[in-house]
Amino acid sequence: MEKKEILKEFGRNLKAERNRAGLSQEQLAEKIGLSYGQVIGTIERGETNTSLSVIVSIMDALDLDFEKLFDRKLIK
């Protein structure tokens, strides 16, 4: 799986989990200490390779394990 597809897969899963939690992009951004929700949108669309610290903050805010956001079995 190439890098762009990895980012898109992660983004799709993030969007699904954020929606399941009932949060808007703005609300999630605020919850993890980002200044605006547009950052969440770029992650969800696979347009940015975000930092590990942001990923950990997202997992904490949504009470998720990494496996919920990304299925490593898809990477071969």
Q: What is the 3-state secondary structure (H, E, C) of the chain?
A: CCHHHHHHHHHHHHHHHHHHCCCCHHHHHHHHCCCCCHHHHHHHCCCCCCCHHHHHHHHHHHCCCHHHHCCHHHCC
**How do residues 15-68 score in pLDDT, each as one tens digit?**
999 999 999 999 999 999 988 888 999 999 999 999 999 999 999 999 998 888
Backbone phi, then psi, for 12, in 5-degree steps? Answer: -60, -45
Give the per-residue pLDDT at 1. 65
pTM score of the predicted model: 0.86
| Interval 8-19 mean pLDDT | 94
* Domains and their CATH numbers in the chain: 3-63 (1.10.260.40)
